[in-house]
Structure 1
Amino acid sequence: VTRHKKTHGIVQILIDYRPALRNRTGVGVWVYKLIEALAEAHADALSITAFSSSWKDRFTATLPASIRQVDRRVPVRILNWLWHRREWPPIEFLAGGPFDVVHSPSPLLIPTNGAASLVTIHDVDFLTHPERADGEIQRDYPPLARTHAHRADAIVVPSLYTREQVARRFNISSDRVFVCPNGAPEWPLRTPPRPGGHLLFVGSIAPRKNVGRLLQAYGRLRRAYPAAPQLVLAGQPASDADPLLATLRQPRFAGCVRHEGYVSEERLRSLYADASAVVLPSLDEGFGIPALEAMTVGVPLVVARRGALPDLVGDAALLVDPLDVDELSKAMQAVVTDTELQERLSQAGPKRALNFTWRASANVLHEAYLFAIEHRRR
């Protein structure tokens, strides 16, 4: 449904590209792939500037030639403090302009001299559990996000679940909230794995990812089914991960649990290719990229019946209560021992993943930009 009047001329967009500069985790992948898809799908309607400010990091990815890249040697933390606490300098001071739309990939606005503004809210964990957030997010997001959401001309989220959460918690009309999910990666179906492949968890080693209960459930699985495959954890430790890392080092997990840390895309694809199943028992997810990746290549899934995951996976996963260690353990046992279940989930996943494309999300984002321009004019 078109939600804006016709806007003439090329629309000048600035997107903060900084999350995509380093090891790309969820937000960075989202920013990079959406910019790419926007440039491909709407080259005749949009002029895109990708903005970076960093003392250490430079643009490394090959962005489409049509995208203007602006790179400023301002340390990220200093610029963020100025933007969040002083609402200065306006982006035009750093990146030229003028711009019709300035898009922040975070919940906090980028100061601008009159452009329409978008914020992006990937999940609301910083509101519901601020103690789980890292430094700057813990300091700035909870006190500022509500005000910034009300001031923004449009808000972008990755899932219907997050849209509902944002509308309810911020008391904002959902008409201003646009759902732009991640697209499925362009990865081929895996060849059938050898029997006995590992169980795989992909995500940060963090309390909100429920890694503690995952380890408890895996311990129970090993006792009930000693032939259980190895558990592999692929992801960086969060700042509050020390107790989890200490648990990982316990003798009972020696040789059967392996923590690989951050892995390259090549290594990640190899881990998916050899996995019996992917297990994602998160307490809250705004989207769930590893679930989409697993479905794309046909890996059976066990996921939490919480947050955005049930809507994402449909019938392509076993759903469990993430607080019930026994249920999680039994689901893991089922998915490594029941060949009919493995087959059903392996076939359902790739079909489900076809619903998620970067092109479709880029079209929604384009719609959000035009809506924001109209909203600013009112």
Structure 2
Amino acid sequence: MSVKLSAYVWDGCASSGMKTMKVAIMVRLADFSNDEGVCWPSVDTIARQIGAGRSTVITAINELMKEGWLTKQERRKGQRSATNIYRLNVEKLRTAANAIYSQGSDSGRSESEHSETGHSESERSGNIKKSVSQGPESGHDPSVSSKQDPSVKTSCPAAEQPDPATMITDQAKQVLNHLNLVTGSKYQPSKTSLEGIRARLIEGFTLSELLLVVDYTNEKWGDDLKMSEYLRPIPLFSPSKFPGYLQAAEKWNESGRPEYVNGKWVKDGKPIKGSGVDNSERDAAYRRYTSGVGEITNPSQLEIEVRKAAGKAGIRNQQASFAQQRWNSLWTEYSERLSGEAAA
């Protein structure tokens, strides 16, 4: 349970005019979440705990997604569906809550608001007493006195903005947590586990791109006993491998995230055209070209042509991440050329 996020929800969401049902759902998600806003309760659990219908909860969650309060990641365990992974928008919640903290409790209730509600002074007094007796908006946090002036919260450490290095590390931890969630692993946020992830983020790859690669490789290798060994932080986010994984993951995402069954991508029970293409030859040829190790006697015509083009492009002198992207592009280009010539 994240007390910090629960406070943000109570203070930020409630004050933004959010409907009670949505606030209740956000509160439950915050209760299940870690400080990064990640949780995976089932819809049935949420519905039961807030006393709402299942369809009502689903509709409210979809609206919250559209409004930018959270994102949802569907996942599977083998051939079975698993609970969705929810990620609360911590930054948006923090911003909404801090706006209330900076205003203080009185500025949030203007004279015009009082006149619109039509409540008498005695009714307001009664409501205030009732709210105090029920505990503060932060969700009964014992560290917050119900008699304390809410304006004191302006000095709350949550309002401080982290430096870039801290943000990079926090994002790297989010990626590692996501890898643990979808694969069932228990990698700790050690220097070794986070090093490659942080390096890719520093290079300019985005958090969403790293999460996408995790989802893609898990879908492709998760049920493969041999390949699942590569679902680890070091091989996934290595400088030579990651760009290629990302390129494939983006195509997978554009295709609607199909399932990987018996070596082929399948959508709606039907194999996707061209989904059986194996890139192992391309990747092996790239390693031979850049390292000079494992040269073969009779390379394919495709490998010969790509090597020539790679030499002209100066791939060996480029940064590893860009070099492999360029190699992959050349491989696709010359593969299509040779296929066209063969057809002619």
Q: Given the two structures, how large is their TM-score scaled by the length of structure 2?
A: 0.26
Higher strand share: 1
**Higher RCO, 1 or 2 (CA under 8 Å, sep at least 6)?**
1
